[in-house]
Structure 1
Amino acid sequence: MTSIRSRLAKGAALIAALAVVASCGLPRSGPNKQEIFAGSVMRDGDAFVLLVDDRVNLVAGVTPALGFSAGFQNASVLGSDTIRAGDTLGLTIWENVRDPLLVSQGQNATVLEEVQVDGAGFIFVPYAGRIRAAGNTPEAIRRIITEKLEEQTPDPQVQVRRLAGDGATVSIVGAVSGQGVYPIERPTRTLSAMLAAAGGVSVPPAIARVTVTRGDHVGEIWFEDLYDHPGHDIALRSGDRIFVEQDTRSFTALGATGSQSRLAFESQSISAIEAIAQVGGLNTNLADPTGVFVFRNEPEDIAEQLVGRDDLTGTQRVIYVLDLTEPNGMFMARDFAIRDGDTVYVTEAPYSQFNKTISAVFGTLGQANSAASLVQ
């Protein structure tokens, strides 16, 4: 009888110890499912908690697309032969006479290298005078010079070449192999060609973003889209500023995952499954595959579509729920697109908390028994 009472007393003491340890709050990586659901607008919170399905994926998967406006795309390619102020020309003049104006004795031609077009758009040619160059083609300038010289020397032959100059240039900075100011020439009249002239991008092409600033207008494109969608390979204009940078988007992974950290996007798009994989997958000793959550602030119009309301104002807090144990749960997670600033959180399984409680109790009891033995 005494033995039974003793066992009952020990059992009661064990249950009391379990209750005390559980009430004290065991260490854990974050809130459990019940605590997250308590934050729903249907209860006491201010967040919309939504189970991810095909409809939710369709609405939540809308992401801002990068691309150039019609103003950029409709701009025609600059004529490579149109001269502008600041350009540099090369002139060669032949004279088939005994007493030439420009050609030295014993030679049949004179070469005027690097004749720069001044700020007003003019060049000076000896015996031909000041000639308007800006806005003309090399052929038009050749005819003008020929006509001027014919008044003083019979049948002059003139050649005009456009050299690289600073009349029509763009600046390229950021993640390229060769930053600098580049002239718009025949081989570099489009964005992709100009980037190639600068040595290409120096970051992984999949996450390289290209921004073009033209006056007050700004356009942005993924580097790979320049080749996948040729319509985005815009024609350049003098004064364009090109900036190349690595994608700055990121998300945070917390909870019962292989690691907890802030991670950068490794591609243009990333799914919930890929996001979990980036942190080493679920922790097999702790994770609850029915409790994978994505926390996000959604714009007003997206939130209204998600919850079927039209009375929301401003950005809304939304919690997406992914249950990987459902028959199509993995597909839903594979189709769910992670966005910049998202927090992916995996809850701990109830079993892991129970395990912690047992370990804490028996560890405490074992330490107490050891201490008692030492005292005795």
Structure 2
Amino acid sequence: MLAVLAGCGLPRSGPNKREIYAGSVQKQGDAFIVSVNPRVTRATAVYPALGFSKSFLNAGLLGSDTIRAGDTLGLTVFENVDDGLLVPEGAPSSVLEEVQVDGDGFIFVPYAGRIRAAGNTPEAIRRIITNRLETQTPEPQVQVRRLQGDGATVSVVGGVGAQGIYAIERPTRTLSAMLARAGGIGIPSDVAQVTVIRHGQQETVWFEDLYQVPSFDIALRGGDRILVEQDERSFTALGATGTQQLVPFERQTISAIEAIALVGGLNTNLADPTGVFVFRNEAEEIAEQVLARDDLQGAQRMVYVLDLTEPNGMFEARDFAIRDGDTVFVTEAPYAQWQKTLAAITGTAGSANSLASLSGN
């Protein structure tokens, strides 16, 4: 019977502790096996760094009536002389209709020259034209109005209440205000990420940081694209746990003890609490800190070991950070394997007795 069991092997959820340790570098394997302690926890506590660059943070608020390239303006000029530069004799004013803002953002006004319009408000353009004309005619009066053009707009897509294209108006000149205008977010705020794409530059922040870090509530620009999506990080749980599955992150950070809890904890009939392993491909610089070495080349295969029966084992598991792509594996207790062996022997003996009874009859 024992020979039969040794030949076919017993069913189990994965390798045992001895087999995992056999794959260590010290035993000619290709993985470093490291027991978790406070130093290891500090070295491996690396989380996604999300935030906006200076070019996004330093952009000033955009006026709700800012002119853009392609807009069409109407200009009216009043002159306090009988023979003015632009106003015909006997007429109260001169009207310049349909002055188009060119692709570079400029307009041309006779006697005032080429003027930067895009990025300015009608009031700012009025002041520029007035200053240029008053050197040639006394006390000119200028009116500027937008005839066509939608002004600055942004698109908001993804996990929001109402996707669409929205104008940048006075109440919606910042990122958080625009998200509120789009109906708020429709995914859990703990794992919501907000990406802003501007002139080919793409930058992302956590939704919650818009309120915790005021500087992240950046001013918007015409043409911005705003994408709201859920964090796609996940880890895999295998072995003697409540369930074996791919588990998405439910918050920005997850500890090893939380990861075990998310899959129903340890299987009380099978799990070995001294054999909780975290498999990870670790970046070279982090692996060197963990191993106190400076001669590694490239990413390294690391196996972190948590012993929940140690005096500080639960605390270490509470502090050790799980990262995207990790595999959390819990080995089976030797007792569970022994139970399986006994069950297999008993079953085999029972089958043999049955066969002997049948042959005797």
TM-score, normalised by the number of residues in structure 2: 0.81
- 1:26 to 1:78, Cα distance in 2 relative to 1, 3 A: same
Per-residue CA deviations over 1:150-184 (Å, capped at 9, x if unaligned) read: xxxxxxx9987779953322222211122222222
Q: Does 1:224 align with 2:208?
A: yes
State the AA in 2 paired with 1:270: I
**1:303 corresponds to which letter in structure 2?**
A
Amino acid at match of 1:321: V
Question: Residue in 2 aligned with 1:316?
Answer: 300
> Matches of residues 63-212 of structure 1 in structure 2 within 5 Å?
63-86=47-70, 119=102, 134=118, 136-140=120-124, 166-212=150-196
CA gap 1:188/1:370 in 2 versus in 1, 3 angstroms: same
Q: 1:251 aligns with which of 235, 242, 262?
A: 235
Percent pairwise identity:
71
Corresponding residue number in structure 2 for 1:360: 344
Residue 139 (structure 1) shift: 3.4
8 A contact 2:175–2:217 mirrored in 1: yes
**Match of residue 199 from structure 2:** 215
| 1:173-212 superposed Cα distances (whole Å, 9 cap, x missing partner) | 2111222222222111111111111111111111111111
1:144 to 1:323, Cα distance in 2 relative to 1, 3 A: closer
The code of the aligned residue for 1:311 comes to: D
User: Which residue number in structure 2 is paired with residue 260 of structure 1?
Assistant: 244
Q: What letter matches 1:223 in structure 2?
A: F
Cα offset, 1:254, TM superposition: 0.3
Give 1:309's aligned amino acid.
R
Q: What residue is the counterpart of 2:271 in the other structure? A: 287
Is 1:84–1:117's contact at 8 Å kept on the other side of the alignment?
no
Question: Structure 1 residue 61 and structure 2 residue 45: aligned?
Answer: yes
Give the distance between the partners of 1:357 and 1:257, measured in 2 at CA: 21
Decide whether aligned partners of structure 1 residues 71 and 146 sit closer, same or farther in structure 2, where only a CA change above 3 A counts: closer
Q: 2:26 — aligned with what?
A: 42
3-state SS in 1 of match to 2:27: coil
2:250 paired with 1:269: no
- Structure 1 residue 256 displacement after superposition: 0.5
1:374 paired residue number: 358
User: Secondary structure of 1:199's partner?
Assistant: coil
Asked whether the equivalents of residues 271 and 333 of structure 2 are also in contact (C-alpha less than 8 Å), the reply is yes
Q: After superposition, where does 1:327-342 map in structure 2 within 5 Å? A: 327-342=311-326
| Letter aligned with residue 323 of structure 2 | R
Q: Distance in 2 between matches of 1:366 and 1:225?
A: 65
Distance of aligned partners of 1:285 and 1:89 in 2 relative to their CA distance in 1, 3 Å threshold = farther
The answer (yes or no) to whether the contact 2:197–2:203 under 8 Å persists in 1 is yes
Contact kept in structure 1, 2:47 and 2:253, CA below 8 Å = no
Report the 3-state secondary structure (helix = DSSP H, G, I; strand = E; otherwise coil) of the residue aligned with 1:79: coil
CA distance in 1, matches of 2:54, 2:163: 27
Instruction: Tell me if the contact between 1:18 and 1:358 (Cα under 8 Å) persists in the aligned partners.
Output: no
Do 2:282 and 2:302's aligned partners in 1 also have CA atoms closer than 8 Å?
yes
**d(CA) in 2 for partners of 1:116 and 1:35?**
79
1:220-251 Cα offsets, whole Å, 9 max, x none, are: 10111111111111111222221111111111
Which letter maps to 1:65?
A
The answer to whether the 8 A contact 1:117-1:133 is kept is no
Aligned counterpart, 1:100? none
Specify the code of the residue in structure 2 equivalent to 1:28.
R
Q: Which residue of 1 aligns with 2:16?
A: 32
Structural RMSD (CA)? 3.3
Q: State whether residues 84 and 168 of structure 1, in contact with CA within 8 Å, keep that contact through their aligned partners in structure 2.
A: yes
Q: What corresponds to 1:110 in structure 2?
A: none
Q: What CA distance in whole angstroms lies between the structure 1 residues aligned with 2:198 and 2:239?
A: 45
Q: CA deviation at 1:23?
A: 4.7
Alpha-carbon offset, residue 36 of structure 1: 0.5
Q: 1:35, 1:298 → 2: CA distance? A: 21
> Which amino acid in 1 is paired with 2:28?
D
- The 8 Å contact of residues 172 and 181 in structure 1, kept in 2 or not, is answered as yes
* CA pair 133-56 structure 1, distance change in 2 beyond 3 A: closer
**Change beyond 3 A, Cα 1:145–1:219:** closer
Contact 1:86/1:167 (<8 A) preserved: no
- Number of residue pairs matched? 330
User: d(CA) in 2 for partners of 1:284 and 1:214?
Assistant: 53
CA distance in 2, matches of 1:251, 1:371: 48
Q: Secondary structure at the match of 1:42?
A: helix
Consecutive unaligned residues of structure 1, counting only runs of 5 or more, are 1-16, 93-114, 124-130, 148-156
